[in-house]
Chain A
Amino acid sequence: MAEHVILFAGPMCAGKTTAIRSLSEIETISTEAANTDRETADKDTTTVALDYGEITIGDEDKVRLYGLPGQRRFDFMWRILMERAVGLVLLVNNDAADPLGQLAEFLEEFAELHERGGIVVGITRADIAEGPSLGDYAQTIAKSTSGAIIPVFTVDARDGNHMQTCLLSLIANIESRAALAYQQEQAA
Chain B
Amino acid sequence: MLAFVKARYTVGLIGLDIVDRAKVNIILEKAFADGEASWLALYNDSCDLIITSGNLPVEAMDEQIVARIVDADCPDDGPFLLRRPLSHEAIVSLLRNAEAQLDSSAPAPEYGRLKVTGVTEVQPGEERAVEMAEAAPAAAPAPQMHPQFAALGPSYQQQIAAQQAPRPYPPTQAQRGVAASANAGSETVGESWADISIALYSILQTRVPTMARINLPHAESILIDFPGRRFQCAGFPDSIPLQPHQVVLRATLAQPGQGLPQGQPLERLLWFIGTRALGAGLAPWLCAEDRCRLVQWPNFTVLDHSIDHMRMTAAMGNGLLTAEELSLLSGVPFQKAAGILNAFSLMGLLHIERQPAPAPRVPAPVAGTGVGTRSSGSLFGKLIRKMGL
Contact = CB atoms under 8 A, between A and B. Distances in A.
Indicate whether A and B interact.
yes
B317 A165 contact: no
A14 B236 CA distance: 32
A183 B314 contact: no
B380 A183 contact: no
B310 A172 contact: yes
B299 A173 contact: no
B313 A172 contact: yes
Interface string B280-323: 00000000000001111101111000010011011101110000
Contacts of B385: 57
Interface string A122-146: 0000000000001100100000000
Interface stretch (B182-190, B203-211, B364-372): B364-372
Contacts of B310: 165, 168-169, 172
B301 A172 contact: no
Contacts of A156: 301
Contacts of B313: 151, 169, 172
B299 A176 contact: no
B383 A167 contact: yes
A79 interface: no
B327 to A, nearest CB: 15
B379 A61 contact: yes
A177 B371 CA distance: 9
Interface string A155-188: 1100101101101110111011101101110110
Contact of B379 (A169, A171, A184, A187): A171
A141 to B, nearest CB: 9
B311 A153 contact: no
B363 interface: yes
Interface residues of A, number: 40
Given A117-B318, A165-B300, A172 B382 contact: no
Chain A binding surface SS class: helix
Interface in B305-347: 307, 310-311, 313-315, 317-319, 329
Nearest to A163: B301
B363 A57 contact: no
A167 to B, nearest CB: 7
A92 interface: no
Contacts of B387: 164, 168
Nearest to A172: B314
Interface in A95-152: 117, 134-135, 138, 149-152
B297 A151 contact: yes
A47 B313 CA distance: 33
B362 A183 contact: yes
B369 A61 contact: no
Interface size bracket, B side: 35 or more
B363 A61 contact: no
B384 interface: yes
Given A168-B380, A180-B319, A173 B314 contact: yes
Contacts of A63: 379, 383
B314 A184 contact: no
B302 A154 contact: yes
- Of B295, B299, B319, B379, most buried by chain A (CB within 10 Å of CB) is B379
- Of B307, B311, B318, most buried by chain A (CB within 10 Å of CB) is B318
A182 to B, nearest CB: 7
A175 B380 contact: yes
B386 interface: yes
Given A135-B296, A138-B296, A183 B369 contact: yes
B101 interface: no
Contacts of A159: 301
Contact of B294 (A149, A154, A161, A180): A149
B55 to A, nearest CB: 35
A177 to B, nearest CB: 5
Contact of B318 (A154, A162, A167, A176): A176
Given A179-B371, A183-B369, A152 B297 contact: yes
A175 B371 contact: yes
A4 B317 contact: no
A174 B213 CA distance: 41
B363 A186 contact: yes
A176 B301 contact: no
Given A151-B300, A165-B300, 5 more contacts: A168-B380, A171-B380, A176-B315, A180-B319, A182-B369
9 contacts: A63-B383, A151-B297, A153-B300, A161-B301, A165-B300, A168-B383, A171-B380, A179-B374, A183-B362
